[in-house]
Amino acid sequence: MTALNGDVILERFRHPRHFGELPAPDATHEDVNPLCGDRLRVEVRLGGEAEAAIEAVRFQGDACAIAIASADLLAEMAEGQHPGAAARIEREAILRALGTTIRTSRLGCVMLPLTALRGALANLGGTRGPAMAGGGADRAAGPLPGREGVEGGADR
């Protein structure tokens, strides 16, 4: 990764806009990349109406720069979308937004946030969630290793 091409990754890793917890999320899902040990939890809150769009997405966890940057970009892409549309966001959209070439061995870092978001959306259930299968295993809610000293992540 060159300095120029890695600018998006470094900026989103150092100053993520969507890092943190949501008060009263409608759905939460945590997933782990078993190859490297990266762990992310994604929280989703919908608007109040019956056919609500995603109002807010936040993530937290202990992960590499590529996974954190991908999670931050994905949260931005998903906010304002209906759950079914957000569940259909593709890996290629995140790769384009990262603005650099990601080695094949690191594509799991890009997929981890996507799998966690899809799992959270599947956990919505009922008429509010998308008709799709979830990602990794659900985890009990509890504290995750954080990123002490990271700017951003405040609820809007």
DSSP secondary structure letter of residue 59: E
**Helix (H) / strand (E) containing 60:** strand 54-62
* DSSP string for residues in 9-56: HHHHHHS-SSBS--SS-SEEEEEE-TTT--EEEEEEEE-SSTTPPEEE
Residue 117 lies in a domain: yes
- Cα 1 to chain center, whole Å? 22
Who wins on pLDDT, 137 or 113? 113
Task: Report the pLDDT value the prediction gives residue 75, as an integer from 0 to 100.
Answer: 98
| Overall pTM surpassing 0.95 (yes/no) | no
Residue 110 φ/ψ, nearest 5 degrees: -75, -35
Residue 135 lies in a domain: no
Residue 75 lies in a domain: yes
Who wins on pLDDT, 118 or 49? 118
Residue 127 lies in a domain: no
CATH number where 84 lies: 3.90.1010.10
Who wins on pLDDT, 143 or 90? 90
Confidence label for 63 from pLDDT (cuts 50, 70 and 90) = very high
Residue 114 lies in a domain: yes
pLDDT in tens, 94-127: 999 999 999 999 999 999 999 999 999 999 965 3
The total domain count for the chain is: 1
Residue 18 lies in a domain: yes
Task: Report the pLDDT value the prediction gives residue 48, as an integer from 0 to 100.
Answer: 83
Domain that holds residue 61: 7-122
> Which whole number is the average pLDDT over 131-139?
38
CA–CA gap between residue 144 and residue 41 (Å, rounded): 8
Q: Specify which residues 44 forms β-bridges with.
A: 27, 57
Residue 129 lies in a domain: no
